[in-house]
Structure 1
């Protein structure tokens, strides 16, 4: 099994979520996060005070998928999160050694 962590633009979340549900990926954890990549800091002025925005609000989606579904789910995320502009986000993939459903005690892919 694989863990996918996708950090995407907040405004793209509903599109990505809908596409993941259509692709049969129903279980996900979602959180609001702030972060930055390699893009330059945004300098702004408000009421005469200058400030720098260096942490941009993003949405983090965490999924556990079967290895055979990995590439398909990654493609779904990319297709629905991409705007072509700086700040579209990142996808991280890592191995998952074990999954256990607390309620039933099921293990492995049955617990996903």
Structure 2
């Protein structure tokens, strides 16, 4: 099993979600986050005053999937989340040793489906 964490722009979420649904992914967690990277701070205007926004709003998606599903999911995220601009996000993939569904006490890959 693998855990996929993707940090994406909020405006591409609908397309990413639809692409994941087509791949059979209907279970994921979504977090609203803010971060900075190469795009650094950007200047904004509020009530006539200019100020620097140090962090950009992002969404963090997390899902635990079977190993075989990882390439298809990564392809969907890369295709749907890319705008070609700095700040498109990142994908992190890590190994999950065990999963347990609390309600039924199922263990392993059956616990994530």
For Structure 1 versus Structure 2, the TM-score category normalised by the shorter chain is: over 0.9
Equivalent residue number for residue 41 of structure 1: 41
Q: CA RMSD in A?
A: 1.2
Task: Note the 1:1-112 alignment, pairs <5 A.
Answer: 1-47=1-47, 49-112=49-112
Moved more, 43-52 or 9-18: 43-52
- Unpaired runs of at least 5, structure 1: none
Q: TM-score if structure 2 supplies the norm length? A: 0.92
- Unpaired runs of at least 5, structure 2: none
What does the per-residue CA deviation read over 1:47-92, in whole Å, with 9 as the maximum and x for residues that have no partner? Answer: 4544211111111100101111111111111111111111111111
